[in-house]
């Protein structure tokens, strides 16, 4: 009867996923899995999660018809405005859910990894709200690139630990968080920021953020009277993408697109496109597509978007790629920044550079979609975050400021 | 010499075995061969060669730094297998500690074949639990390699029994909840964990790792375990030395101290036998 459940009881999406983790952490992963299985069917838990999402995070986020952008790209573009959520991204959904679970498990401390600082800020926010101790690991390189987010996290009461091992970026922050967790697992929850890592994280994070897609599906039906022709999102670890895609998986007529960070171009080797330009391997507890060399050593990723700058991807995306249900393509830095400017100028919306990858990908696929359908397509794009955090990068890229940082 | 032979010998001598860990290719390919050979000559019973990996989440700063040096020096998996072959010639059994990613990339069956051909006796897999180890278990059987999984103080009785059931050679008991690295004191949780392993399987040797730094601590751990695993403290001998000869001298001295340490206290198992 139908397709087998994914993931299976031990967290496998076909050949992907699973648990490649030290035995010392298995008890905690089992505890988390059990707590989530109970909580997800506990009306008190789901009611509180719903209330927080509504009253605190500001969801459901709007589905906005971007008419000027639509006219320019030749498609009906509906933007899922996750950028308007509290803390400015979809990530607040995940941290609120996991903070609730932390309290439910009786733990008093959370740790998190962060690249650009968005997940760190979201975690620090939830920790403040739930009165939890919070330690955020961030690569030393990123703490310098994203000093404002370091200040935000500290303002919210979190401890930020600059990570000086390895490449001193997101993957090393994740290594350091795992090392902390092995030592502190009794009273600490590791609040992973994306739908990756060992089971149950890919499934847990997906379930916490899939409200994005549930809302978008209902909103699209209400606004247009039909399902969209396509749903698009950017993919780093892939939580915003799996969140919006998952409720559409059974709608066979809805095409699903994930746009990875192509950096300087997949052909250059300097990119973060694990599916488009990587291979199958094991990283951070899961089997998935990763960027690695011939010996299985992790290769550094490159993207103008710090939030997509990770050499792996959530295992469910790997599975959706293999099964053909979703299509993954790379969008390079230049195309993403062009789309970034286009949304600013057409709609007065400054997107996260991450989300600009989804917009750029959509611009690129409109011609083939139009040809396949024989009409203008309707496309739901997950505008996963706002771009305030990226103004330093944008100012440098578009040469908006003089060298002292003042107006030209 | 197999792991089983070695533990049979150390048991007959009424003591625990010293298991010494060193990343392959640290400080160089030749330097690591010299270091591990020196360890064996100075009394280390079993060599644990660590395959350097870019993301070693179970390792503390010392092993990570040594691994980074090895990788920065360009060591490849093929070099590591050559190192295994050279170190095996020193006479002690050579096991390999490796994260799963490099083995998966190499191909578990091909890795097992080439590792066995190089004279290696088994793998210690810090991030591979038996639940995910189907391919490795089959390859280990095919090439007659031992497989050493880790147990932790947090392991449930059911998981501990399952994990011990899949171990061959010895069981690696992580004495503290934490990453590798020498500590002021070894853990009080370790004797209880060793006892739990013995309850699950009275026959298989149990080695305790994470935290041992000198002969006195080795003597203490050797009082209740079959093997004493030492890594970071040995690596520090090389990291802290002004030059290679001084590093090798320190390494020999510590290896000898550890070997003397395990001979100072009768092993828990032997002591229990004497009392009986």
Residues sharing a CB contact under 8 Å with residue B113, sequence separation 6 or more, in sequence order:
B139, B142, B143
Average confidence (pLDDT) over A131-143:
94
Are B26 and B69 in contact, with CB atoms under 8 Å apart? yes
**How far is the C-alpha of A290 from the C-alpha of A213, rounded, in Å?**
26
Is A384 a residue of the active site? yes
Residue B184 predicted with pLDDT over 70? no
Write out the CATH class of domain A12-46+91-205.
Answer: alpha beta
E strand spans, A122-277? 133-139, 159-163, 188-190, 230-235, 255-263
The pLDDT score that the predictor gives to residue A273 is 98
The pLDDT score that the predictor gives to residue A146 is 83
Are B170 and B207 in contact, with CB atoms under 8 Å apart? yes
Residue A182 predicted with pLDDT over 90? no
Range 81-140 of B in CB contact (< 8 A) with A = 100-106, 126-129, 131-132
> A282 and B104 in contact by Cβ < 8 A?
yes
Are A321 and A289 in contact, with CB atoms under 8 Å apart? yes
Residue B91 predicted with pLDDT over 90? yes
**How far is the C-alpha of B113 from the C-alpha of B84, rounded, in Å?**
13
Residues sharing a CB contact under 8 Å with residue A96, sequence separation 6 or more, in sequence order:
A49, A52, A53, A56, A57, A126, A129, A208
**How far is the C-alpha of A172 from the C-alpha of A163, rounded, in Å?**
7
> B156 and A23 in contact by Cβ < 8 A?
no
> A182 and B58 in contact by Cβ < 8 A?
yes
> Which tens digit of pLDDT belongs to each residue from B62-77?
999 999 999 999 999 9
Residue burial A216-254, b: 16+ Cβ < 10 Å; e: rest: bbebbeeeeeebbbbbbbbbbbbbbbbbbbbbbbeeeeb
> A295 and B105 in contact by Cβ < 8 A?
yes
Residue B276 predicted with pLDDT over 70? no
Helix (H) and strand (E) counts in chain B = 13, 9
List chain A residues with CB under 8 Å of B127: 20-22, 282, 285
ω into A7 cis (within 30 of 0): yes
List chain A residues with CB under 8 Å of B152: 22-24, 27
| B178 contact A CB<8A | yes
The pLDDT score that the predictor gives to residue B275 is 41
Average confidence (pLDDT) over B199-224:
94
Q: Is A179 exposed, middle or buried (0-12, 13-18, 19+ CB in 10 A)?
A: buried
Residue A1 predicted with pLDDT over 50? no
Are A306 and A142 in contact, with CB atoms under 8 Å apart? yes
* Pick from A21, A30, A171: CB nearest B55: A171
Counting one residue from chain A and one from chain B, the pairs whose CB atoms sit within 8 A come to 118
**How far is the C-alpha of B258 from the C-alpha of B138, rounded, in Å?**
35
Split at pLDDT 50, 70, 90, the class of A2 is very low
> A183 and B179 in contact by Cβ < 8 A?
yes
Residues sharing a CB contact under 8 Å with residue B139, sequence separation 6 or more, in sequence order:
B108, B109, B111, B112, B113, B145
Residues sharing a CB contact under 8 Å with residue A403, sequence separation 6 or more, in sequence order:
none
The secondary structure of residue A307, as a DSSP letter, is G
Residues sharing a CB contact under 8 Å with residue B17, sequence separation 6 or more, in sequence order:
B6, B7, B10, B45, B46, B205, B207, B226, B227, B228, B262
Average confidence (pLDDT) over B171-200:
81
What Cα–Cα distance (Å) separates residue A335 from each residue in A169, A338, A351? 24, 5, 14
Task: Map tokens 């083939």 to a residue.
Answer: A368
Taking domain A57-88+210-397, whether its CATH number is 3.40.50.1100 is answered by: yes
List chain B residues with CB under 8 Å of A21: 127, 129
Is B244 a residue of the active site? no
Q: Vertex A401, ends A396 and A407: CA angle to 5°? A: 165
> A287 and B76 in contact by Cβ < 8 A?
no
H or E element in which residue A206 lies: helix A201-209
**How far is the C-alpha of A46 from the C-alpha of A39, rounded, in Å?**
7
Rama region for A234: left / alpha / beta (φ>0; ψ in -120 to 50; rest): beta
> Which tens digit of pLDDT belongs to each residue from A297-350?
999 999 999 889 999 999 999 999 999 999 999 999 999 999 999 999 999 999
Share of chain A above pLDDT 70, in %: 98
Closest residue of A to B210, CA-based? A183
The pLDDT score that the predictor gives to residue B132 is 98
Interface pTM, i.e. ipTM: 0.93
Q: How does the average pLDDT of chain B come out, rounded?
A: 93
* Pick from A23, A171, A284: CB nearest B152: A23
Rg over alpha carbons for chain A, rounded to the nearest Å, is 20
Q: Vertex A32, ends A30 and A35: CA angle to 5°? A: 110
CATH 3.40.50.1100 maps onto chain A at 12-46+91-205, 57-88+210-397
| B56 contact A CB<8A | yes
Q: Is B133 exposed, middle or buried (0-12, 13-18, 19+ CB in 10 A)?
A: buried
Distance of CA A260 to the CA centre of its chain: 11
Q: What is the edge-to-edge ordering of all strands in the sheet holding A279-283?
A: A12-13, A16-17, A286-290, A279-283
Q: Which domains does chain B have, with CATH numbers?
A: 3-275 (3.20.20.70)
Q: How does the average pLDDT of chain A come out, rounded?
A: 95
> B174 and A10 in contact by Cβ < 8 A?
no
Residue B187 predicted with pLDDT over 90? no
């Amino acid at each position: 009867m139908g397709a087998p459940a994914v993931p299976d009881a031990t967290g496998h999406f076909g050949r992907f996923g699973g648990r490649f983790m030290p035995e010392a952490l298995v008890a905690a992963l089992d505890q988390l899995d059990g707590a989530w299985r109970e909580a997800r069917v506990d009306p008190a838990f789901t009611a509180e999660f719903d209330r927080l999402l509504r009253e605190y995070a500001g969801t459901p986020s709007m589905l906005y018809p971007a008419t000027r952008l639509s006219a320019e790209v030749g498609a009906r573009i509906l933007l899922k405005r996750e950028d308007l959520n509290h803390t400015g991204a979809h990530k607040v959904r995940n941290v609120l859910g996991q903070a609730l679970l932390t309290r439910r498990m009786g733990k008093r401390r959370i740790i998190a990894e962060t690249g650009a600082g968005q997940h760190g800020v979201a975690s620090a926010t939830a920790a403040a709200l739930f009165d939890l101790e919070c330690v955020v690991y961030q690569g030393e390189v990123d703490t310098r690139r994203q000093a404002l987010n370091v200040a935000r996290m500290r303002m919210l009461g979190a401890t930020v630990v600059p990570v000086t091992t390895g490449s001193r970026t997101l993957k090393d922050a994740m290594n350091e968080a795992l090392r902390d967790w092995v030592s502190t697992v009794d009273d600490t929850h590791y609040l992973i920021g994306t739908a990756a890592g060992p089971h149950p994280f890919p499934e847990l994070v997906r379930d916490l953020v899939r409200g994005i897609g549930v809302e978008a599906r209902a909103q699209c039906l209400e606004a247009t009277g039909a399902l969209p022709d396509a749903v698009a999102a950017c993919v780093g670890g892939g939580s915003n993408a799996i969140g919006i895609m998952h409720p559409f998986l059974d709608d066979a007529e809805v095409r699903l697109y994930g746009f990875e960070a192509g950096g300087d171009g997949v052909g250059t080797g300097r990119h973060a496109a694990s599916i488009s330009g990587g291979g199958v391997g094991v990283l951070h507890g899961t089997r998935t597509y990763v960027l690695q060399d011939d010996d299985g050593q992790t290769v550094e990723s490159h993207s103008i978007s710090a939030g997509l700058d990770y050499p792996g991807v959530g295992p469910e995306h790997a599975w959706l790629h293999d099964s053909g249900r979703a299509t993954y393509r790379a969008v390079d830095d230049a195309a993403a920044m062009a789309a970034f400017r286009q949304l600013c100028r057409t709609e007065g919306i400054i997107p996260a550079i991450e989300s600009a990858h989804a917009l750029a990908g959509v611009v690129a696929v409109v011609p083939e979609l139009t040809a396949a359908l024989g009409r203008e397509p309707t496309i739901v794009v997950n505008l996963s975050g706002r771009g305030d955090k990226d103004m330093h990068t944008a100012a440098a890229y578009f040469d908006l400021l003089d060298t002292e940082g003042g107006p030209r | 010499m197999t792991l089983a032979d070695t533990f049979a010998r150390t048991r007959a001598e009424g003591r625990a075995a010293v298991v010494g860990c060193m990343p392959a290719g640290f400080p160089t390919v030749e330097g690591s061969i010299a270091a591990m050979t020196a360890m064996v000559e100075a009394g280390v019973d079993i060599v644990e060669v660590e395959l350097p990996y870019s993301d070693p989440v179970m390792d503390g700063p010392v092993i990570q730094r040594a691994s980074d040096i090895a990788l920065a020096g360009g060591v490849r998996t093929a070099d590591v297998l050559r190192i295994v072959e050279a170190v095996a010639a020193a006479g002690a059994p050579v096991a390999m500690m490796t994260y799963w990613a490099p083995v998966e990339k190499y191909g578990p069956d091909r890795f097992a074949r080439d590792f066995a051909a190089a004279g290696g006796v088994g793998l210690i897999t810090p991030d591979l639990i038996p639940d995910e180890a189907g391919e490795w278990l089959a390859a280990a059987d095919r090439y007659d390699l031992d497989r050493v999984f880790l147990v932790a103080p947090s392991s449930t009785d059911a998981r501990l029994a399952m994990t011990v059931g899949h171990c061959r050679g010895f069981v690696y008991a992580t004495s503290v909840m934490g990453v590798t690295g020498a500590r002021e004191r070894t853990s009080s949780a370790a004797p209880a964990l060793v006892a739990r392993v013995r309850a699950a399987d009275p026959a298989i040797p149990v080695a305790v790792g994470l935290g041992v730094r000198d002969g006195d601590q080795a003597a203490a751990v050797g009082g209740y375990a079959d093997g004493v695993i030492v890594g970071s403290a040995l690596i520090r001998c090389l990291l802290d030395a002004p030059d290679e000869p001084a590093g090798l001298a320190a390494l020999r001295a510590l290896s000898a101290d550890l070997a003397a340490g395990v001979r100072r206290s009768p092993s828990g198992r032997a002591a229990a036998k004497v009392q009986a």
